[in-house]
Amino acid sequence: MSSVSTVQAFRVNCPVSAVLAEPVHGAMRTSEALYGESVQVLSDEAGWCHVCLLKDGYEGYMRRDELDSSEIAALENTHRVCQRSTLLFAEADMKSQVRHRIPFGAEVSLVEHSGTPFSRTRCGHFIWSAHCLPLSDDHPATPLALASSVFLGSPYLWGGRSPEGIDCSGLVQALALSRGFAIPRDSGDQEAFLSTDVSPDDYRPQDLAYWPGHTGILVSPTELLHATAHSLSCVIEPLQDVIDRAGPMSSVKRLF
């Protein structure tokens, strides 16, 4: 095994990289890392890296070829994708070759404005500038509007964190990050982390509902938007229908 310094950060170089429970193909996906995200490589062996995602402290295994070297990763990211997805082009020209399609929440470092609507990234790609938002800025849309416009209709994917496939806690974490809130990856940890409890007579749109092993965002006091394994999709449905299937909520939290 090759040991890697615990201060050495690498960056994801593909649109979505699976974080697996074991360093073998076919192992269970436990989370995902999006393009440009920083990971700490704890060790590497035979093409696999044991990593810690710096965004939320989540650990797992990733393919080594889906991570850039620390030298490439040295430049800090400046922006994130603020719509469902966008394209990285070879040139500052929409007719040029597409290098990647990267999802909402992916991070880039914009190092040069080309004098056109495109900006150049640290890796030499070109991205439509209006599709990016500075990392320091909150998304102009509300979390509920984002959930509806970006994630509603996405397939449910265990461990997923992108509009191409997302799970319940990945959805809530993405919405929190859009407002600058760093919360844990898994629903149980989120529930324990969030301190503001809401009583049943005070439920509001954008409150976060929790069950053991599940979460979603309230559209109204009687409707829930969530990524659910029940229909393998991100849907809006009556809150009571979810309660009938999953049992009573363990808590409702207010973050937004």
Number of other CB atoms surrounding residue 251 within 10 Å: 14
68 beta partners:
11
**Alpha-carbon span 165 to 79, nearest angstrom:** 22
**Alpha-carbon span 102 to 118, nearest angstrom:** 15
Instruction: Give residue for tokens 């982390």.
Output: 193
Q: Percent of the chain beyond pLDDT 90? A: 89
Domain annotation for the chain: domains and CATH numbers: 2-73 (2.30.30.40), 79-134 (2.30.30), 143-253 (3.90.1720.10)
Taking only the tens place, the pLDDT of each residue in 151-207 is 999 999 999 999 999 999 999 999 999 999 999 999 999 999 999 999 999 999 999
Give the pLDDT band of residue 112 (cuts 50, 70, 90): confident
Give the pLDDT band of residue 75 (cuts 50, 70, 90): confident
Residue 255 has a pLDDT of 98
Residue 72 has a pLDDT of 55
**Alpha-carbon span 158 to 186, nearest angstrom:** 11
Cβ burial of 179 (10 Å; 0-12, 13-18, 19+) is middle
pTM for this one? 0.93
